[in-house]
Amino acid sequence: MATQIFASMDTRGATAVTINTAPSFKRLEVKHETSYHYQSSVALGYSLAWLTPLSTKGQRLLEHRLNVLPKPRFQHESVDAFGNTQHYFEMHKAHSELRVQSYAIVESGPAPDVAALTMPWESQRPKGIGAAIGEPPPWEFIYSTVMAPLHTNYTEYARAIFTPGRALGEALLAFNHQLHIDFQYVPGSTQVDTPLEQVWENRAGVCQDFAHLAIAALRGLGLAVAYVSGYLLTYAREGEKKNVGADASHAWFAVWANEHGWIHLDPTNDKVVGDEHIVLAMGRDYDDTPPVKGVCFGGGLHHLRVGVTVNDISASISQNAQHQTQQQRQHIEQEFLQNMGQDIAQEMSQQQTQSDLMSAADDIES
C-alpha cells in the first residue's frame, strides 16, 4: 500500500522498496547542454558537475552519459556527502569554449497522494538518530545555510499554514499552493546569488528562489527540508513542434517525513513532484549541487548558455524497448554532434595555435 501512495518519494533512510515498472511510469529522456564561451583562451580549467539523475524510490535511472568538449584530460566520478553522483574534470589544453552535455533516460513514477499523510506535521521533525550509516542524516537539512537563511518573516509565513497539529500532507499542499500564489514567477528577475531577502520583498523570482524560500520557511519550523535540482517535462503548444533546448533546469524542495522519506513539492508549478519531474541531485541549498561549476585560469569574461530538452519517450517504447532506446540515444548524440560540427572544427584549429604557445611545463603528458 505504502509503495503506491508514496511512489515518487525518495525513501533513502526509510525502508527500501523495489521499483515498480508498472505502465503508469513515464519514461523520460533529457538532454542538457551547458556551454561557456570565453572571451580569451582558457589555459587550465577545473569543474565539478552534478548532472547524473538520482535513483530514488520514485525514479529509476536507466541511462546516463556525460560528454565534455573538448575532451577533459582527467575525469573522476564519485559520490558526494549527500549521496549524489559528482563528476570532476580537468581541462589542460587551451580552449575558448567548453561544452558539458548530459544525456539521461529515467523512469519516473506518478505523484504520491500527499493528502494521505495525515499525521501531525510536528511529529515529522527529524529524530536525533535517523539515517543508516553512509546516508546523509536528515539533520543535515535542518539548519540555516547561506542561500536559504532562516528568518522570522519566513518562519511566520509558514506557521500561518502549519497550525498546531495540522496534518502534514494537507499543510504541505496548502503551503506549496500559497507560495505559488504569493510569489510571481518572473524569468530573469533574479540571479543565482540574489539574496532571498530580495525575493521576499519583491514577491517574485524563479524556481530556485521559491525552493530556497520554502526551505528557509519550513526549516524555521524544525522540519528537515532539502533543495532538489532537476528537470520538468514541458509540452509544446498545440500544433507546434517543441523546440530543442527550450526547457530549463528546474528546482524544488523536499520535506523529510520520518517513515516516508522525502516528499517532493514544486511550488513554481503548484504541483506534487511526479512523473513529469526528473530528480537530479539533492543538497542543503543550490550551492551543494549546482549542475556545473568551475574555476579556470584565463578566459576573461565569458558567456554561459544552457539548453535543456525533456521528452516523454514512453510512447515509443514497444516490446523491443531497450533496442529502440539504444537507437534513439545514438540518434540524439549524432544530432548533438552535427549541431556542433562546424564549431568544433573552428575550435580545433584555434587550439592548435594556442597549444603551440603553451610552455612544455604546462602539459606533463607530452
Partner 1 sequence: MANRADTLSEYQPLDFAYDEMVDAQGKAREHWRPLGDFLDSSTPQTLDTLKRETQRRLKEQGVYYNVYEDPAGKHRTWQLDPVPMLLSEQEWPKLEAGLQQRARLFSLLLQDLYGPQKALREGLIPHEVVLRHPEFLRPAMTPKNNKQPSTPLVLYAVDLARGPDGAWWVLSDRSQGPSGAGYVLEARAVTKRVLGQSVSAYSIAPYAQFFHHLKRHVSALAPDQQREPTIALLSSGIGNEVYFEHAYLAAQLGITLVQGDDLTVRHGNVYLRTVDDLRRVDVLIRRVDSSFCDPLSFRSDSMLGVPGLLQAQQLGRVGMANSLGSGVLECPALLPFLPALARAWLGEELLLPNVATWWCGHDKERKYVLAELDKLLIKRVDQPGKVIFGETLSRKELQNLTDAIKATPWAYVGQQHLSFSSVPTLAEGGLAPRQLVLRSFLAGDGEHYDVMPGGLSRVAGSAEVSVISGQSGGWSKDTWLLRSSGSMRDVLRLHPSGQRRLATAALTSRAAEHLFWAASYLERSESLLRLVTAYQKRYDTWLDYGFDSDAQVLRQCVPLLQLYVSSTLIGDVPPAPETLRRALLSNNVGSLAYNLHRGLEGIYTVRDLWPADNWRVIEELEELLTYAERNREIVAVDQMVQPLLNAMLAFWGATQESLALTQGGLWLHLGRRLERVQNMLLGISHLCRQLVVGEDSALTLETLLDAHGCIVSHRRRYGIELNFLTVWQHLLLEVTNPRSLLHQLEELESLLHYLNASPQFGLTEQEKIVLSVVTPLRLADAREWSQADTSRTLLARFLSELSGRLRQLGTDLDNHYFRHTQPFTQFAR
**Dist CA 82 CA 212 (whole Å):** 17
Candidates 59-67, 75-83, 217-225, 346-354: pick the segment binding partner 1 (CB under 8 A). Answer: 75-83
**Dist CA 139 CA 126 (whole Å):** 6
**Dist CA 68 CA 290 (whole Å):** 16
Find the shortest distance in angstroms from Cβ 310 to partner 1.
21
Q: Is the separation of the CB atoms in 68 and 114 below 8 Å?
A: no
| Neighbouring residues of 235: CB distance < 8 A, sequence distance ≥ 6 | 242
Closer to partner 1 by CB, 3 or 194: give it: 194
Establish if 295 lies at the interface with partner 1 (CB under 8 A): yes
| Neighbouring residues of 161: CB distance < 8 A, sequence distance ≥ 6 | 171, 174, 175, 178
Task: State the residue for C-alpha cell 547561506.
Answer: 146
Establish if 294 lies at the interface with partner 1 (CB under 8 A): yes
Establish if 151 lies at the interface with partner 1 (CB under 8 A): no
Candidates 163-171, 222-230, 291-299, 341-349: pick the segment binding partner 1 (CB under 8 A). Answer: 291-299
168: its cell numbers: 502534514
Candidates 71-79, 111-119, 212-220, 344-352: pick the segment binding partner 1 (CB under 8 A). Answer: 71-79
**Dist CA 113 CA 92 (whole Å):** 50
Establish if 118 lies at the interface with partner 1 (CB under 8 A): no
Establish if 366 lies at the interface with partner 1 (CB under 8 A): no
Establish if 309 lies at the interface with partner 1 (CB under 8 A): no
139: its cell numbers: 539533520
Establish if 127 lies at the interface with partner 1 (CB under 8 A): no
Establish if 364 lies at the interface with partner 1 (CB under 8 A): yes
Find the shortest distance in angstroms from Cβ 204 to partner 1.
19
Query: Which stretches of the chain are DSSP H helices?
Result: 2-5, 152-159, 168-182, 196-202, 207-219, 321-357
Establish if 73 lies at the interface with partner 1 (CB under 8 A): yes
Among 120, 165, 300, 341, binds partner 1 (CB under 8 A): 300
Among 92, 180, 250, 271, binds partner 1 (CB under 8 A): 92
Establish if 218 lies at the interface with partner 1 (CB under 8 A): no
Closer to partner 1 by CB, 82 or 183: give it: 82
CA–centroid distance for 344 within its chain: 28
Q: How far is CA 187 from CA 178, 250, 259, 287, in A?
A: 19, 12, 36, 20
DSSP 12: B
Among 78, 320, 326, 346, binds partner 1 (CB under 8 A): 78
Candidates 82-90, 153-161, 197-205, 236-244: pick the segment binding partner 1 (CB under 8 A). Answer: 82-90
Using CB under 8 A as the binding criterion, the count of chain residues that bind partner 1 stands at 46
**Dist CA 222 CA 89 (whole Å):** 37
Candidates 250-258, 323-331, 333-341, 354-362: pick the segment binding partner 1 (CB under 8 A). Answer: 354-362
**Dist CA 260 CA 10 (whole Å):** 8
Establish if 16 lies at the interface with partner 1 (CB under 8 A): no
Residues that bind partner 1 (CB under 8 A): 36, 43-44, 46-48, 73-74, 76, 78-82, 88, 90, 92, 128-129, 133-134, 137, 139-140, 143, 191-193, 288, 290, 292-300, 302-304, 359-361, 364
